[in-house]
């Protein structure tokens, strides 16, 4: 996949590996350094080193090779299909299921299940992520759209990029949020002290999350969130940033929290324009049983 970038003022005199990692892709800095070393990233048509400083009007070409194919095998795993036609399907992912295979998760994923239930899936981004247009974390439940051919995949991906797809979440967070509505506009990038985490950082990618209070409890608040952008761990990072981390979040939340199977975060509503018919599609999914049971307990406290 080749992309060209021309920069005028942004990133001037910044190391190219750092700049591309934080402003262009979600790849790690070590991955970008490897791509630079292998000649997949060039400046003005020439190879450079990772410590090259970006200059005004540089033309940077990023050629990210297709991911190495992981031989994901079809597995007879039950999945809840909310909608399906010849181009797309919408699934309700349960909490605890990984979306696509990776190191340490070569089986039991949503992709393994999809390969069993669906004969044809798009292959964009390599066979490691067949059909997957967007993803949610392992311990986040809820709706995902899946592309069944490459044309649908491109069009759905474009809707996400242009912020035309609708994604609404329900979350239970620590503490009482006293204002009824709010917007968190804070850039997100990798945490400099822990590369497995993300954080609000000055040089991160623009990230916007809107929230609205649904119900307040003794020490928790139930909220609806609308994503304007879709950064990795965006909701989890943003809520931690305003000191209302998600209940049950094993990475960004406090250790002592409500008993559950991970963060109380559910992708409740998904809306998009059908890639072939142009019809406006909208789907919703109720929160999982353990989520509902927890809310009932909090109401009685």
Q: What is the chain's alpha carbon radius of gyration, rounded to the nearest angstrom? A: 20
The model carries a pTM of: 0.74
59-103 per-position pLDDT tens digit:
888 877 655 545 678 889 999 999 999 999 999 999 999 887 766
Mean pLDDT for all residues in the chain? 86
Q: Which of 17, 58, 87, 137 is catalytic?
A: 137
Averaged over 101-126, what is the pLDDT?
73
- Asked if pLDDT for residue 217 goes beyond 90, the answer is yes
Active site residue 137: yes
- Asked if pLDDT for residue 244 goes beyond 90, the answer is yes
Residues 230 and 136 sit within 8 Å (Cβ to Cβ):
no
276-293 per-position pLDDT tens digit:
999 999 999 999 999 999
Supply the pLDDT for residue 124: 46
- State whether the Cα torsion 158-94-171-242 is positive or negative: negative
Supply the pLDDT for residue 283: 97
Pairing of strands 141-147, 265-273: parallel
Confidence band (pLDDT; 50, 70, 90) for 128? very low
Question: How distant, in Å, are the alpha carbons of 59, 75, 155, 182, 188 from that of 54?
Answer: 10, 47, 32, 36, 21
Supply the pLDDT for residue 200: 96
What does the CA dihedral 289, 98, 132, 35 come to, rounded to 10 degrees?
150
Supply the pLDDT for residue 65: 67
- Asked if pLDDT for residue 6 goes beyond 70, the answer is no
Residues 43 and 19 sit within 8 Å (Cβ to Cβ):
no
- Asked if pLDDT for residue 134 goes beyond 60, the answer is yes
Supply the pLDDT for residue 4: 54
Domains assigned to the chain: 3-64 (3.10.290.10), 80-300 (3.30.2350.10)
């Amino acid at each position: 996949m080749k992309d060209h970038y021309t920069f005028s003022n942004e990133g001037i005199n910044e190391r190219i590996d750092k700049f591309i990692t934080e402003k262009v892709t979600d790849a790690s800095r070590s991955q970008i350094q490897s791509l630079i070393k292998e000649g997949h990233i060039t400046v003005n048509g020439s190879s450079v080193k990772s410590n090259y400083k970006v200059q005004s009007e540089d033309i940077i070409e990023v050629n990210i090779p297709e991911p190495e194919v992981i031989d994901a095998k079809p597995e007879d795993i039950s999945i809840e299909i909310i909608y399906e036609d010849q181009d797309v399907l919408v699934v309700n992912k349960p909490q605890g299921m990984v979306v696509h295979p990776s190191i340490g998760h070569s089986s039991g994923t949503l992709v393994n299940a999809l390969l069993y239930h669906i004969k044809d899936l798009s292959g964009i981004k390599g066979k490691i992520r067949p059909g997957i247009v967007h993803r949610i974390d392992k311990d986040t439940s809820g709706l995902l759209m899946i592309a069944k051919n490459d044309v649908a995949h491109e069009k759905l991906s474009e809707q996400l990029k242009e912020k035309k797809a609708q994604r609404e979440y329900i979350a239970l967070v620590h503490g009482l949020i006293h204002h009824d509505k709010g917007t968190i506009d804070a850039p997100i990038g990798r945490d400099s002290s822990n590369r497995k985490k993300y954080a609000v950082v000055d040089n991160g990618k623009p990230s916007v999350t809107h929230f609205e209070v649904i119900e307040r409890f003794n020490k928790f608040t139930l909220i609806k969130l609308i994503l304007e952008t879709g950064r990795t761990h965006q909701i989890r990072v943003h809520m931690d940033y305003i000191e209302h981390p998600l209940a049950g979040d094993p990475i960004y939340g406090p250790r002592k929290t409500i008993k559950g199977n991970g963060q109380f975060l559910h992708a409740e509503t998904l809306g998009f324009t059908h890639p072939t018919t142009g019809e406006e599609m909208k789907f919703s999914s109720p929160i999982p049983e353990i989520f509902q049971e927890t809310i009932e307990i909090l109401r009685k406290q």
